[in-house]
Amino acid sequence: MSAMFKFSYGLFVLTAREDDKDNGCIINTAIQVTSEPKQVSVCVNKSNYTCEMIQRTGKFGLSFLSQEVDFDTFRHFGFQSGRDTDKFSDYANAKRAESGLLYLTKGVNAFIAVEVNQTVDLGTHMMFIGSVVEEEVLSDVPSVTYQYYFDHIKPKPEQPKTKGYVCKICGYVYTGETLPKDFVCPLCKHGAEDFEPIG
């Protein structure tokens, strides 16, 4: 079975490698563009260091998260990648692919490695479109969707005594009476549509 069969409205660990440094972050914007040849696109926030690494190296990997993934994976990788941290150091749940990219082996149902053919600047994000050069199916467990993540994996935030709004992605609490429509979470960079009222 092709790893491409695992694509869904899911969540992925995006990985990159430059020189001897590996990096990664969680994204939700990976799309199969064509099936023959196998091409995919990802959209990455420019503030992510992983984005810079992909621009320089021209390749990336995707670990397709499954419904067996635990919350520690989300806490460890997060939705932002840091410049000064190697999120894979001492991380036993990773394997190096033939492409040189690391991928997760636990809580993951497939992995693909991609060579970038085209880069599109979308303002705050970069879109990378490329050809699949390596793929592996790891399990038949269904992919995790945002809804499954919210319902079954992410711990429910403690309800603060004050009124406000909480980010459904990372748990950041905004304590104003009204959330501005153009508000962007300072932690995970998601917009106001990913906040819900609390209190």
Q: Of 3-7, 15-19, 44-48, 91-95, which gets the smallest average pLDDT? A: 3-7
Q: How far is the C-alpha of 38 from the C-alpha of 109, rounded, in Å?
A: 18
Average pLDDT over residues 91-113: 93
- Domain 157-198 is in which class? mainly beta
Q: How far is the C-alpha of 194 from the C-alpha of 172, rounded, in Å?
A: 11
Q: Tell whether the model's pLDDT for residue 161 goes beyond 70.
A: no
Other CB atoms within 10 Å distance of the CB of residue 191: 12
Q: In this structure, which amino acid lies at residue 23? A: N
- CA-CA distances (angstroms) from residue 54 to 17, 88, 141, 185? 8, 17, 29, 24
Evaluate the CA torsion angle 146, 150, 153, 154 in order and state its sign: positive
Sheet holding 195-198, edge to edge: 173-174, 164-167, 195-198
Specify whether the CB–CB gap between 185 and 170 falls below 8 A.
Answer: yes
Give the pLDDT score at 71. 92
Q: Binning pLDDT at 50, 70 and 90, where does residue 4 land?
A: low
Q: In this structure, which amino acid lies at residue 50? A: T
CATH of domain 3-148: 2.30.110.10
| Residue 103 CA to its chain's centroid (Å) | 12
Average pLDDT over residues 133-151: 92
Q: How far is the C-alpha of 114 from the C-alpha of 108, rounded, in Å?
A: 17
Nearest residue to 144 (alpha-carbon basis) of 193, 196, 107:
107
Write the pLDDT tens digit of every residue in 170-183: 888 898 889 999 99
Domain boundaries, the chain: 3-148, 157-198
Q: Binning pLDDT at 50, 70 and 90, where does residue 80 land?
A: low
Q: How far is the C-alpha of 70 from the C-alpha of 175, rounded, in Å?
A: 29
**Residue 87 has which token pair?**
């999120």
